[in-house]
Amino acid sequence: MRIERTGQPVSKLLQQLEEDLRRDDIIYLERVPSPRAGEKYRDVVSRFFTEFGIATVYIKVRSPSFERRYVINAKYDWAMGGVVEGWVVEGNVVRMYEPVAISLSDIGKALDYYGETYWKAEERLLSKKMAEAYTEEKPPAD
């Protein structure tokens, strides 16, 4: 693996993640930790953050032209404040982004925003897969 420092703030990584999640050609999505049925992912991440003061999110996005694995780590210390750092793995390259300071309220807003963006991407992907399955199963017209 080759490591590249982008020199850009982690907000650029989040912008790229958002763009990837809004693509129409996504063929695979995955996130870790995985929520249980009936549980929101953002609640799982929030619980880690609240209990331990740190939460790490792993998101894999695959399209026909790329596969990116995002790692976003948020830490919060009552004395020092919050920091978000992250990197993207694509092929054999790890692109490192510069950490940014963040407030506790901004962390909550980001969890909601990116949670909603991921959920919409997941919904689009599921709809596409269901449409493909229906088309494959549909008997030919006479």
What was the pLDDT predicted at 136? 67
Report yes or no on 128 lying in a domain: no
Among 51-55, 61-65, 101-105, 115-119, name the most confident range.
Answer: 61-65
| % of the chain beyond a pLDDT of 90 | 52
142 domain-assigned:
no
Residue pLDDT, tens place only, 114-123: 888 998 999 9
Parallel, antiparallel or unpaired: strands 54-63 and 66-77:
antiparallel
Confidence of residue 137 (pLDDT cuts 50, 70, 90): low
Question: pLDDT-based confidence at 139, cuts 50/70/90?
Answer: low
Q: Is residue 131 part of a domain?
A: no
C-beta pairs of 17-21 under 8 Å, 24+ apart in sequence? 17/59, 17/61, 17/70, 17/72, 17/114, 18/114, 18/117, 20/61, 20/63, 20/68, 21/61, 21/117, 21/118, 21/120, 21/121
Please give the span between the terminal C-alpha atoms of the chain, in angstroms, as a whole number. Answer: 55
Domain that holds residue 24: 2-121
Tell whether 89 is covered by a domain: yes
Q: Tokens in use for 56? A: 């790490």
State how many domains the chain has. 1
pLDDT digit string, tens, across residues 14-59: 999 999 999 999 999 999 877 788 888 888 888 888 888 898 999 9
